[in-house]
Structure 1
Amino acid sequence: MQLELRHLRVICAIADAGSLSRAATTIGVSQPALTAQLQRVEGTLGGQLFRRGRLGVTPTPFGQFMLTRARSILLAVDELITGTGAHESRPDVARIGGYVTPMLSGLLSRLFKVLDMPITVHTEYSPRLLLDLLASRRLDAATLVDYPGNELPVVPSVGMHLVATEPVFVLLSSSHPLAEEEEVRLADLADDDWVISPPDGVGWPECVYSACRDAGFSPRVPHSMTEQAMIRQLVAGGHAVAPCQATVQDGPGVVVRPLAGTPLWLRHLVAWRRSGPLADRARELTEFAAEAHHEAIGERPHYTAWLARNGGVTTPR
């Protein structure tokens, strides 16, 4: 049997009802038919989803695993089916998206103070996806990143402003032999394992591999993930090094160091939908984003020290 969306809805309905009989009534089928369908789904998935008892059914650990993913899939599909989402008919709602950076959090803290409308927040790893969400009217404004030479495309319905161009640094274990250096040569990391986040649709991590090739090596990358806490844990344990935003903070077991010669750069942008509720506040969005980014720099000694050594240079040479 091929798993379909209706099967995921059945799984969720059973979990919500807490019994096969109540779920059957909700769905509008007989209990024997629902039981048979559940058995086919379990056979397809290769595991038992629910434990049956006198008081009803409860998810097994495998069932809870599947339910989490089923609900996520159904939510995403429902958003696609409803097009622009539940807030399209409410122009008084500001839908803010972003690639997770201190600039996004700082922008949001300012917007919550000044906007006289509700705000919803949606983050994504891919800046290209965020741009598509703006163009398709699913977001009203967003913070984005891209890379010199791999800039995001121009979209007529979306306004965009460059807030800052900054270097990409490297995250090291505090016990790494180079942790005490003021700057680290990329070539000196050739023998390290790397943890690098997966492609984001606008040139990452291709720009990292290109810079490493220019430095004379191909990085050994046994780890790929986006979860920052896990990346920091791997690095702190001495299991890998990782490229990182310059505004990443030092922390227990890890240090942030600039790369000598600055072979990698990142651009921070703010974007808005030209026909959206924030279009007339584009200048304010840009100013708030710039303030938030500047504030983050001031809280990162490794970044302010780099700026001082480089005469405040914020563009690739």
Structure 2
Amino acid sequence: MQVELRHLRVICAIADAGSLSRAANAVGVSQPAITAQLQRVEGALNGQIFRRSRLGVTPTPFGQFVLARARSILLAVDELVSGAGAYDSRTDVARIGGYVTPVLSGLVTRLFRLPDLSVTVHTEYSPRLLLDLLASRRLDAATLVDYPGNELPAPPSVGMRLIATEPVFVLMSSEHPLAGREEVDLADLAGDDWVISPPDGVGWPECVYSACRQAGFTPRVPHSTTEQAMIRQLVAAGHAISPCQATVQDGPGIVVRPLAGTPLRLRHLVAWRRDGPLAGRAEELAEFAAQAHREAIADRPHYAAWMARHGAPSLGG
């Protein structure tokens, strides 16, 4: 048997009701029918989801694992269905999206200060997904990143402005043999283990692999995660190094070092729907994003030092 959304809704209904009889009443079927459905789902998943007693049912540890994922799946599907074709025509609500960067956080902080605008925030890892959410009217504006040679194409319904092109640095343990250098040659990192976040749909981490190949090696990547806390933990413990945005903060046990010759760059962009509530404030939106980026640079000594040697990053006008 293939597990379907209706099966996930049944097991969530059972968990919420606390008994098979109450769940059967809630979903409008007989108790034998809901019991049979539960047994089929447990058989398909090869594990017991609930413990039965005269007081009702409680999830097993495996059941808790299943329920957490079932609820996440159902929430995502419900959001997808309810959002399809949805368009809020109000001009005082702005739905802002982006990957978590200082540009996004600084932009949102400034938008919240506007007295005539309400803001909601939605984060995603993939810039291409964010662009699709803009095009499908599920977001009104977003901060994006892409990479020279892999530029995001803006659909006709979306306006886009380049905020800055900046270097990609490397995050390493403060105990790393190269941590004391002002800049690190990429070729000197050939013997390290790397932690690299998975593909984002617009050229990452392909650009990292390409730069490493040009430096004469293929990086050894035993770790892959988008979770910044895990990346920092692996790096601080000396288990890996990681490419990172230049605006990443260093911290206890961690240093951020520029790569000599700047073999990797990324672009920060801001985009908006041309028929959205921020269309008439595109210049203000771009300026807010640029201010947020400049503020992040000023707060990162390693980036400020790099700029003193190489000049300011290329900024979008």
Matching residue of 2:228: 228
Contact 2:199 2:205 in 1 (8 A): yes
Q: How much is the aligned-residue C-alpha RMSD, in angstroms?
A: 1.5
Write the deviation string for residues 39-98 of structure 1: whole angstroms up to 9, x where unpaired: 110111111111223332222222121112111111221222224476636554311100
Percent of aligned positions that are identical: 81
Q: Structure 2 counterpart of 1:306, which letter?
A: W
Matching residue of 2:262: 262
Contact 1:79 1:85 in 2 (8 A): no
Q: TM-score under structure 1 normalisation?
A: 0.96
Name the CA distance, whole Å, in 1 between partners of 2:139 and 2:278.
10
Q: How does 1:31-42 map to 2 (within 5 A)?
A: 31-42=31-42
Contact 2:164 2:313 in 1 (8 A): no
Gaps of 5+ in 2: none
After TM superposition, give the deviation of residue 121 of structure 1 in Å. Answer: 1.1
SS of the residue aligned with 2:9? Answer: helix
Matching residue of 2:67: 67
Matching residue of 1:289: 289
SS of the residue aligned with 2:151? Answer: coil
SS of the residue aligned with 2:248? Answer: coil
Name the CA distance, whole Å, in 1 between partners of 2:18 and 2:289.
47
Name the CA distance, whole Å, in 2 between partners of 1:151 and 1:121.
24
Matching residue of 1:144: 144
After TM superposition, give the deviation of residue 272 of structure 1 in Å. Answer: 0.4
Write the deviation string for residues 154-189 of structure 1: whole angstroms up to 9, x where unpaired: 210000000111000000011100011100000000
Stretch deviating more after TM superposition (150-159 or 60-69): 60-69
Matching residue of 1:273: 273
Name the CA distance, whole Å, in 2 between partners of 1:233 and 1:131.
31
Matching residue of 1:249: 249
Contact 1:194 1:221 in 2 (8 A): yes
Change (3 A) 1:85 1:78: farther
Change (3 A) 1:117 1:59: farther
Name the CA distance, whole Å, in 1 between partners of 2:89 and 2:58.
38
After TM superposition, give the deviation of residue 313 of structure 1 in Å. Answer: 4.4
Change (3 A) 1:87 1:23: farther
1:103 matches 2:103 = yes
Change (3 A) 1:12 1:173: same
Change (3 A) 1:3 1:100: same
Q: TM-score under structure 2 normalisation?
A: 0.96
SS of the residue aligned with 1:96? Answer: strand
Contact 2:171 2:241 in 1 (8 A): yes
After TM superposition, give the deviation of residue 212 of structure 1 in Å. Answer: 0.3
Q: Structure 2 counterpart of 1:311, which letter?
A: G
Q: Structure 2 counterpart of 1:207, which letter?
A: C
SS of the residue aligned with 1:172? Answer: strand
SS of the residue aligned with 2:113? Answer: helix
SS of the residue aligned with 2:229? Answer: helix
Matching residue of 2:47: 47
Matching residue of 1:201: 201
Change (3 A) 1:10 1:71: same
Matching residue of 1:3: 3
SS of the residue aligned with 1:16? Answer: helix
Q: Structure 1 counterpart of 2:44, which letter?
A: T
Name the CA distance, whole Å, in 2 between partners of 1:10 and 1:87.
31
Q: Structure 2 counterpart of 1:154, which letter?
A: A
Matching residue of 2:189: 189
